[in-house]
Chain A
């Protein structure tokens, strides 16, 4: 029975777990334990799903046995399984890490709320990646977004509230645009089911309604994924959210939104959208600005969380560049970077969580001398940073390799040059932090601090290890990304 219900369990269990936690286990430890167990369960479920679909099979599941146009269909192909594994994997690791960090950053009486919201977000994100129904996707988008706003607002500083509010306004705008897009498609095709849309859209693809739908969908999802220049909610939200939340969101939420974009362009419209509207060129142009300008902005940040947030906007640009090349290699690079960027930003934000845990600050200047005081944390940060720069033997290098290969395949030399240039900017902003941490002494009279607790170090190093492991053994990541890209390109 379990195996037949695999495609829904990872969505439904966290969804049920959220109110259960609210009702029955309000103690911080109890709530954490529940979230932890559910997270690991979803990871196991996702891995099983990936195993099933890795043969090229597409798993379809009809909720409540209602057949597709009437009921909601869940549909897991290679790409979906891959994204589900990213989300649940990051969730599992951050939950392992969360207990002490959360206790240090969120008032005790609200901790159970945090875990409830986390489970809802998890369920929402996994639902988005699983569902085969465009309206159901909207529902999950809202579930995950609303609970995310709450999580961001739980940040220790009061500025977290304005950050969450700004996120809420723009996020809602995005969701509304998405649902308008879905509505327009429904008007022309009479269906919300993705598999049906695939068949019916080609006939009406050139109508103005569908063109408008594409525009709404692009802008709506663009808002959610932090597309430059509608990324303005992202830096503050990442900066002021609790450390665990930032790590989880940075590694998952934007990735899932990128997934939705890929779904719309490549599954629903089968890539035909690029012929009717220049969305690929628009995305490419915006992403090029993003990878240069946002990296440059990151250089001037003093708050390291904000620095990494801007870096995230730039990195999302890399994914979008890959997607907008409309070739198998390009799409492979984009999909690959979903996974790889999740690993590097996850590791970096968890390292910052450890730093905040000890010194209650993530300002560059306050990190002086941490190389000695917190050797394991800073070593993790350095490794994550090298991965972000794209030094060989890390995942960042593999991503960059494919992205440049894809641009050279199209003989777009300047594009390859810009990508490389932007990674040099990454050298600068990472180096600023590394230099301060290792070559500046801790100010005289500063309290002596020790390394972060083991319970935080271990999960962080799991992610750091993954950065290196998947930089060396690329079978799983490149293999899956390429298979998914080939499938999407109809090859």
Chain B
């Protein structure tokens, strides 16, 4: 099959899968088998496009012209390739984990859950492979809408309030600002295609470049730049597999991915560097990065802490894009993969703790490492990756990002990156030390289990998933060079 066909297939497979998930709704084992099969087929489809993209091909297919000159168009370039690989690959692992988690917690509406999950993945692939801003916008909106039922899964009033925040912020920023920016771009240039070197150079100048950039950056609510980050902590009411794959990987990465796409292919990073239009964005991203780390430290709820950590880590990527240097953009792209692998592991662990010990707060985790050694071990590994300590994947992306800041002669942002690494150590390491070094609380269930010398881990599918992603965070340290090679062409002229 040609890469063009495969790119359509990658979006079609999860959609078709979702129909079968509905049909198989009455037989849970069959239904989960369908999810897993779909995930595997999707990953194989995406993976088989990779060689041609590595070889320099840019598969491009125009599906349908909606308005004159404006089409639904798929184009695969390295950045999208990477995002597609990450999200479809992690979907397999996440599906394994979901089986353990959803059954372990006896969640209701599981068919609906798997159905919308598949739709969300299809739209993530659509975002990844979009050939122009309109196509990306369409899939971006479908991603918002399809994750709403997942966030609102529990359906109680508190959940519904959070779900409303979620969908409210994401829809309003995208319709109010992103769409505005898009139509403005269209009006200026007559195209919305992603083009190497950007399309805006020479069409807009002065302060308007910065204004247009602001419309995009705050319009892409999924990148969670403060103050439009509130939806992400709100999304934590969802079952943990949703938080893990969607709100640490697919949805948030769709956001920062769009940021990178806009900077590289709409504005052109050199154009941004010339006009200094992204200077304000550096400050905004650095502010978000530091401030949300501080908020994360103050959160006792584990998922909330991880959510704010995600807000902070997303701003690494936005900052990388804002620096408007080749190294910064490659570093941002790499961080997309590195953070995905680390953060999904952390969420898996949070879900495993909830499933096995029914604990949600960090202060309850004293000594839990004794009953859940594998989970907490993986938590430690993933934490180190997020902090950026070798030999884990996070090291390299941070290295590139700092290089990017140095290249841009913005030494202060090198310091910001370093400070932020310290902050992330400050909010992640205590969880690990608490789990392993403190004695269990006398009256907790963990204490009883320890007294019996027993180990009470989460269900096996959860453990498999946790180990797989933790190993992945480790493996990425060695494959970082390949990712950099994949991404390099996007910064060429």
A interface with B by C-beta (< 8 Å): 386, 389-393, 398, 400-401, 404-405, 408-409, 416-417, 420-421, 423-424, 427-428, 431, 435, 438-439, 471-474, 478
Q: Tell me the smallest distance from the CB of A474 to a CB of chain B, in Å.
A: 6
Residue in chain B with minimal CB distance to A411:
B187
Q: Give the shortest distance, in Å, between A135 (CB) and chain B (any CB).
A: 40
Interface centre among B175, B177, B179, B187 (most CB of A within 10 A): B175
In angstroms, Cα B430 to Cα A14, docked, is: 80
Known pairs A416-B180, A473-B64. 15 more at Cβ < 8 A?
Answer: A389-B175, A392-B137, A398-B67, A404-B180, A405-B183, A405-B186, A409-B187, A420-B175, A420-B176, A420-B177, A421-B176, A424-B175, A427-B172, A439-B155, A472-B64
B183 near A401: Cβ-Cβ < 8 Å? yes
- Whether the Cβ atoms of A427 and B184 lie closer than 8 Å is no
* Contacts known (A392-B134, A405-B183); A439 close to B152, Cβ less than 8 A: yes
Q: List 16 A-B contacts (CB under 8 A).
A: A386-B145, A391-B145, A392-B138, A392-B141, A401-B183, A404-B183, A405-B187, A408-B187, A417-B176, A417-B180, A427-B171, A431-B167, A435-B160, A472-B66, A473-B64, A478-B67
Q: Number of contact residues on B: which range applies?
A: 20 to 34
- By a CB distance below 8 angstroms, the chain A residues around B168 are 427-428, 431
Q: Quick check: is B58 within 8 A (CB to CB) of the other chain?
A: no
Interface residue ranges, B against A (CB under 8 Å): 64, 66-68, 134, 137-138, 141, 145, 149, 152, 155, 160, 164, 167-168, 171-172, 175-177, 179-180, 183-184, 186-187
> 9 closest pairs, A vs B, by CB?
A392-B138, A408-B187, A404-B183, A424-B172, A420-B176, A439-B155, A427-B171, A405-B183, A420-B180
Q: Which of B137, B149, B152, B175 contacts A427 (CB 8 A)?
A: B175
Give complex CA distance A473, B172 in Å.
Answer: 26
Report Cα–Cα, A398/B66, bound state, in Å: 9
Given A408-B184, A474-B67, the answer on whether A439 and B160 have CB atoms closer than 8 Å is: yes
Chain B residues with Cβ below 8 Å from A473 are 64, 66
B301 to chain A, nearest CB (A): 24
Residues on B with C-beta less than 8 A from A435 are 160, 164
Interface centre among B66, B172, B180, B186 (most CB of A within 10 A): B66
Cα–Cα, bound, A409→B155 (Å): 44
Given the complex of chains A and B, what is the CA–CA distance between A139 and B414 in angstroms?
Answer: 77
A413 to chain B, nearest CB (A): 9
Q: A390: nearest residue on chain B (CB-CB)?
A: B175
Expressed in whole angstroms, the Cα–Cα distance for A75 and B179 within the complex equals: 40
Assembled-state Cα–Cα distance A424/B175 (Å): 7
Docked CA distance A398–B68 (Å): 12
Complex Cα gap A391–B141 (Å): 7
Contacts of B160 in A (CB 8 A): 435, 439
B383 to chain A, nearest CB (A): 36
Q: How far apart are the CA atoms of A301 and B179 in the complex, in Å?
A: 28
Check A420–B171 contact: CB distance below 8 A. no
Name the residue on B nearest A471 (C-beta).
B66
Question: Cβ of B141: which chain A residues have Cβ within 8 Å of it?
Answer: 391-392
- Alpha-carbon distance between A408 and B176 when the two chains are bound, in angstroms: 14
Cα–Cα, bound, A390→B137 (Å): 12
Q: Given A393-B138, A404-B183, A427-B168: A474 and B176 within 8 A (CB)?
A: no
Total A-B Cβ pairs within 8 A: 65
Q: Give Cα A439 to B152, complex, Å.
A: 8
Contacts of B187 in A (CB 8 A): 405, 408-409
Q: Report the minimal beta-carbon distance from B213 to chain A, rounded to whole angstroms.
A: 15
> Given that A405-B187, A435-B160, A439-B155 are contacting pairs, would A424 and B176 also be in contact in the complex, using a CB cutoff of 8 Å?
yes
Among residues of B, the one whose C-beta sits closest to the C-beta of A427 is B171
B69 vs chain A, min Cβ distance (A):
12
A405 to B192, CA, bound (A): 14
Q: Which interface residue of B67, B152, B160 has the most chain A CB atoms within 10 A?
A: B67
**Contact status A408-B138, CB under 8 Å:** no
Min CB distance, A252 to chain B, in Å?
A: 26
Cβ-closest chain B residue relative to A426: B175
Question: Given the complex of chains A and B, what is the CA–CA distance between A27 and B199 in angstroms?
Answer: 66
Distance in angstroms between the alpha carbons of A215 and B176 in the assembled complex: 35
Q: Which residues from chain B contact A424 at a C-beta distance below 8 Å?
A: 171-172, 175-176
Q: How far is the CA of A473 from the CA of B68 in the complex (A)?
A: 10
Taken together as a complex, chains A and B put the C-alpha atoms of A393 and B160 apart, in Å, by: 27
By a CB distance below 8 angstroms, the chain A residues around B179 are 400, 404, 420
Give Cα A417 to B172, complex, Å: 12
Interchain CA distance A420-B164 in the complex, whole Å: 19
Chain A residue at minimum C-beta to C-beta distance from B178: A420
What's the Cα separation between A420 and B176 when bound, in Å? 5
**B65: min CB distance to chain A, Å:** 9
| B191 vs chain A, min Cβ distance (A) | 14
Which residues on B sit within 8 Å (CB–CB) of A420? 175-177, 179-180
Nearest-CB residue, chain B, relative to A479: B68
CA distance A200 to B134 in the complex (A): 47
Which A residues are CB-close (under 8 A) to B152? Answer: 439
Checking B134, B175, B183 against A408 with a beta-carbon cut-off of 8 angstroms, the contacting residue is B183
Name the residue of chain B whose CB is nearest to the CB of A402: B67
User: Which chain B residue shows the least CB distance to A401?
Assistant: B183
CB neighbours of A471 from chain B (8 A): 66
Query: Nearest A residue to B153 by beta-carbon distance?
Result: A439
B134, B168, B179 interface centre (most CB from chain A within 10 Å) = B179
Chain B residue at minimum C-beta to C-beta distance from A393:
B138
Set of chain B residues within 8 Å of A439, measured between Cβ atoms: 152, 155, 160
Inter-chain contacts of A421 with B (CB < 8 A): 176
A410 to B102, CA, bound (A): 54
Please, how many angstroms separate the alpha-carbon atoms of A404 and B179 in the complex? 9
- Chain B residue numbers with a CB within 8 Å of A428 are 168
Q: Which partner residue on chain A sits nearest B159 by CB separation?
A: A439
| Nearest chain B residue, comparing its CB with the CB of A420 | B176
Most chain B C-beta atoms within 10 Å of own C-beta, residue among A391, A405, A427, A428: A391
Residue of A389, A439, A472, A478 with highest tally of chain B CB at under 10 A: A439
Q: How far is the CA of A426 from the CA of B152 in the complex (A)?
A: 20
Residues of A within 8 A of B137 (CB): 392
Chain A residues with CB below 8 A from B177, complex form: 420
**Nearest CB in chain A to that of B135: its residue:** A392
Nearest CB in chain A: distance from B469 CB, A: 32
The interface centre, meaning the residue of A392, A408, A416, A438 with most chain B CB atoms within 10 A of its CB, is A392
Q: Which residues of A contact B66 (CB under 8 A)?
A: 398, 471-474
CB neighbours of B134 from chain A (8 A): 392
